[in-house]
Amino acid sequence: MCGIAGILNKNNEGVTEDLILMLSCMHNRGPDGVAIQVGQNKANSLESSESSSPYIDGRFGLGHVRLAIVGGQLGRQPFTSCDGRLTLGHNGEIYNYKQIRNSLKLQHHFVSTSDSEVILHLLEEKLAQSATLVEALTKMAKVLDGVYSIAVKDHKTGEIALIRDLLGVRQLYYSEDLQQVTFASEQKAIWLLGGNKSVRRVMPGHAVIISNKGALREYRIAEPPRALNPNKKKFRYNTLEEALTAYKRALVLAMKKRTQGLDRIGIIFSGGIDSVLVAWLAKDMVKEVICYNAGTLDSSDILFADKVAKDLQLTLKVNVITKRSTQEMLPKIIHAIEERDAVQVEVALPIYSAMALAKKDHVKVVISGQGVDEIFGGYPWYPRVVETEGYASLRAHMIEDLFLLYKETLEREDKTTMAHGIEMREPYLDKQIIRTAFDINPKLNIIGPNDLLGKRVHRILANQLGIPKEIAYRNKSAAQHGSGIHFIIDEMARENNFDENRISSGYLRELEKRELLGSSQRYGFKYGNKELWLTSPHIQMYLDRIFESVFGKSSTIIDTSDEEDLLTSKIIKKI
């Protein structure tokens, strides 16, 4: 995992100073190295003054901070292609890079064992076979198995491409004004340059092409698998035995991909079956597995996680959260996730706290249980969807939830773990697991409208693999409630004079205009207790003030207009 930053100046002015400034605020994403390529220079490390030629500033620059997991010290980026045409920076992991490398090694000169360099030479190969950069990127996306955000400069045409994987597991942002186009792995790197910049996302499965003059166009380069057809009536797996066999095969392979070459790995461990199952599998694949949890002293998550870890003989480390530690962490968390939304902040806090322990243990990779509810039907409102609208509607909602994970969960968790220089990997979002899950008849996962547990195939497999039934079938609370965080922040808000009496009708109208994040807020409340999912206005106002103290009132949050939701809607309709 790493961080990318780049600038194209429209007025032919040098960009080096601004580029270094952008990289400076993302050091946490790349503690193992930092380098830039500007103008006609080769990539230069900023940690060394060694240079074989005079340094020339230029109107385009690409910078990279690196967390070294694959490739060692020779994996420093940006990389330049064999023919000098392409310069590339990558954030993420490519799990089939060894196979791709073997197919390219006779035609290309590799200077490292990095998975990122493999992307460069693969694109070089596809570009030679294509009429346009977009066509080459589309061909490349079909080959890559992994998660990525990529920035690449085509020196022949002057085009710059910003690319993001299909689900948006790794993020990339960009901004344009009269002077320049800027892009980075985190918004704060763009905000740091001032000018009240409005920041946008590179959308999942898309490429943003920036012309040599700074004009921007967006293209879809990656299509969802056919298994995700919301109108599907015939399923590949219609018996429990078929579903379990296929799921076990896909899950074991996904875990092997994400643990290969590692001697130590961390697990974001809540005690719920999703994190328990990956921990259970990881202990037979990795020499040392450490589970991490955080919450208030008497919170249900800590108590249950401790019991589960002892029962399964897993190593568990717990960071107990207090009101004092929360006061210290809140500004840091808001700075890390670049977000003020109360649910986002409350969910991030226990993970942020747990990762502080992982950092002390020098853990570089953690495994998350993210994605199971969306692909196996685990949310408590899903059975009500079945009851009122049927399984076809449920399937459409599950697909919608999956393709909105990028902004509802994945960006937050990437930034939360990377604030400690730790990479998060999500085996349940492996493309083969997703295909398998959506090839399973949904009636096997949710057995009618009275099924309060859901994700039955997932739970049964866990039980078959040796996890006791009482653990596999536990119904877990939402993270902010199970960890006890919500109640601490509520108390803190009131102590700082943010209560119901302070909320004006104008502020409530402002809140109504804000985007609802998470399927619970978007539509889940229709099938359950709406009050459970509503953000308390006084808590939100308190967090708004902290956000302003961290970033200032002029900082512009990502453009979350209907355009992004329309793109997701188009995905669902198309497949």
Write out pLDDT tens, residues 527-567.
766 666 677 899 999 999 999 999 886 555 554 444 455 44
Catalytic residue positions, numbered: 2
CA distance linking residue 140 with residue 155, whole number of Å? 19
DSSP helix/strand/coil, 37: strand
Q: Is the pTM of this model over 0.75?
A: yes
CA distance linking residue 342 with residue 352, whole number of Å? 15
Neighbours of 390 (CB within 10 A): 10
Specify the pLDDT at position 49: 47
Q: Are 403 and 374 in contact (CB under 8 A)?
A: no
CA distance linking residue 513 with residue 39, whole number of Å? 43
Neighbours of 574 (CB within 10 A): 10
User: Cα–Cα distances in Å, from 230 out to 226, 362, 375, 400, 527?
Assistant: 10, 43, 12, 9, 21
Sheet containing strand 423-425, edge to edge, reads 315-320, 288-295, 264-268, 365-367, 423-425
Specify the pLDDT at position 322: 92
Specify the pLDDT at position 376: 96
Peptide bond into 78 cis (omega under 30): yes
Specify the pLDDT at position 70: 58
Residue ranges of the chain whose pLDDT lies below 70: 1, 40-55, 67-76, 195-196, 476-483, 528-533, 553-575
Specify the pLDDT at position 566: 47
CA distance linking residue 315 with residue 279, whole number of Å? 10
Question: The tokens of 230 are what?
Answer: 């919301």
DSSP helix/strand/coil, 123: helix
Specify the pLDDT at position 230: 81
Show the domains of the chain with their CATH numbers. Answer: 2-220 (3.60.20.10), 226-574 (3.40.50.620)
